[in-house]
Structure 1
Amino acid sequence: MMTVGRAIPGLLVSVRSAAEARVALDGGADLIDVKEPTRGPLGAADRDVIEDAVRTVGGRTPVSAALGEWADYSGCDVPSGVTHVKWGLARLSECRSTDLGNMRRAALGAIPVLVAYADHRRAESPSPETVADAACRFRFPVVLFDTAMKDGSTLLDWLTLPVLARMRFRLADFGTKVAVAGSLDAGGIRALAPLAPDWFAVRGAACVGGRAGRVSAELVRQLRTIIHTNCVAADAG
């Protein structure tokens, strides 16, 4: 098994507007993710919102876009300037090669992110283990572990750290990067630090007023400090 690189994980902050993208940048976010949380866990923002966010970021960090669930995807083009795109697998019973191939093609040059819902039975999606296996077989560059239902439960309420670690390190063997999400807060980041993910992905923890609130530069800075402090400590241990 290969050793996972020891670079400090990045902080992905999900935003719903260009104004929030600017605030997240001011706080030190490493990756700006554009989505509309009222439309689901991977709710797609309107195209003009994504394009405005890309212009605001101006190449200072990568910009990803959530585009909804693959089962609902209508084939719209990926906005220019987006570096990563992701679709959920809700209501799909398995990771079919045709779906995965079409997903990669639909990314149109952006990096496709395969999403594993920890609460997969509630989402009627493939299990995280199945998604991780598919990512290895089909050479997806990135896997995101997330929760489908935003009801206060977290990633670790659905998957144990040892199970996550097995998937994370197997994906690393195949060169696949890993992001972890799922209602993460400071405690969740500390608990998941031993995984050495490539990104911690947050929305609610970076907002005043939770997931439906507004992004705060100060909260983003605090989360970044927590990542750096705890991941350096995990490396030292």
Structure 2
Amino acid sequence: MTTVKICGLKDSEMVKSILHLPIDYIGLMFAKSKRQVTPAQASDMIRVIKDYREAGNSAPLTVGVLVNPTREELTAIIAEAPIDILQLHGQETPEECRWIRETFPGVKLWKVVSVSQANQGDAAGSSESARQSIAAVLNPYIGIVDALLLDTFDPVYGGGSGKTFSWETIPPYREWCRHAGIPLLVAGGLQPDNVGELLGAYAPDGVDVSSGVETDGVKDRNKIISFVERVKHHV
């Protein structure tokens, strides 16, 4: 079944209100963003989730989102906010990713590809040229990252723009993920009204939403419920 990540949670009360839903991942923004949280805030939300799990319930994993973090920054964040997964949204090299895996062996690693107008054209070209272009960039990450996430490029934050990219670029990335043996997640402008179209046409392994389940910049519980239902009940 398609996994669901709700990203950009900022307070423990909202986390508590959605833990009963079949959400697989909750994203915590440590990178500069309208939804940025401190390690202390993240720690509070992580404790709520762990308490829920320790009470015998199924609970989502936590995903910390960072852009080109320094080793010192990363070490400090993970020490205070013990996330399950690290989502890297910048230009982190395979060598940097390998250091993270070796230093924090209990933390899974997701790499984000920000799809801009430029690389949309590359991936939407002939299937063979798209495969070669993607493989050249991503093959060095095989065996290092645990998932790939496609998001719309944002010139300020890198991602989290609330805009979709051309979904026609997805197939060669999906093919690469099958080759690498890792799941493909898709973000960027998703909302309850369009996620079914994405799932029906391109069948990613997971979807990631943030602004699409907000009202006036604040997480909307009803929109989250609607989004999760659309994904989990999609046939």
By the TM > 0.5 criterion, same fold?
A: yes
Q: Unaligned stretches of 5+ in structure 2?
A: 54-58, 120-129, 155-159
Distance 1:217 1:28, change over 3 A: farther
RCO higher in structure (CA 8 A, sep ≥6): 1
CA distance in 2, matches of 1:144, 1:206: 19
1:174-207, CA deviations, whole angstroms, 9 ceiling, x for partnerless residues? 2111211112123441232133222211011222
Please tell me whether residue 119 in structure 1 is matched to residue 122 in structure 2: no
Segment of structure 1 superposing worse, 138-147 or 77-86: 77-86
How far off is 1:151 after superposition? 4.6
TM-score w.r.t. structure 2 length?
Answer: 0.74
Report the equivalent of 1:53: 45
- Aligned 8 A contact 1:11 1:31 in 2: yes
How far off is 1:140 after superposition? 1.5
CA distance in 2, matches of 1:51, 1:17: 10
Distance 1:65 1:97, change over 3 A: closer
CA distance in 2, matches of 1:73, 1:36: 14
CA distance in 2, matches of 1:165, 1:178: 10
Amino acid at match of 2:180: F
Pairing of 1:14-93 with structure 2 (within 5 A): 14=7, 15-35=9-29, 39-40=32-33, 45-58=37-50, 59=53, 60-70=59-69, 74-77=73-76, 78=78, 79=80, 81-89=82-90, 92=91
Please tell me whether residue 153 in structure 1 is matched to residue 154 in structure 2: no
CA distance in 1, matches of 2:204, 2:140: 19
Percent of residue pairs bearing the same amino acid type: 13
Report the equivalent of 2:149: 144
Report the equivalent of 1:4: none
SS in 1 for 2:19: helix
SS in 2 for 1:201: strand
Report the equivalent of 1:192: 198
How far off is 1:120 after superposition? 7.7
Segment of structure 1 superposing worse, 180-189 or 100-109: 100-109
Report the equivalent of 2:6: 13
RMSD: 3.0
Report the equivalent of 1:235: none
- Aligned 8 A contact 2:39 2:81 in 1: no
Structure 1 runs of 4+ with >6 Å offset: none
TM-score w.r.t. structure 1 length?
Answer: 0.73
1:9-50, CA deviations, whole angstroms, 9 ceiling, x for partnerless residues? 12110112222222332444221111157x239x75211111
SS in 1 for 2:67: strand
Q: Unaligned stretches of 5+ in structure 1?
A: 1-7, 233-237
1:151-181, CA deviations, whole angstroms, 9 ceiling, x for partnerless residues? 553132xxx42x3112113212321112111
- Aligned 8 A contact 2:192 2:223 in 1: no
Distance 1:189 1:16, change over 3 A: same
Amino acid at match of 1:84: I
1:199-236, CA deviations, whole angstroms, 9 ceiling, x for partnerless residues? 21101122222xx31x2222112112211343x1xxxx
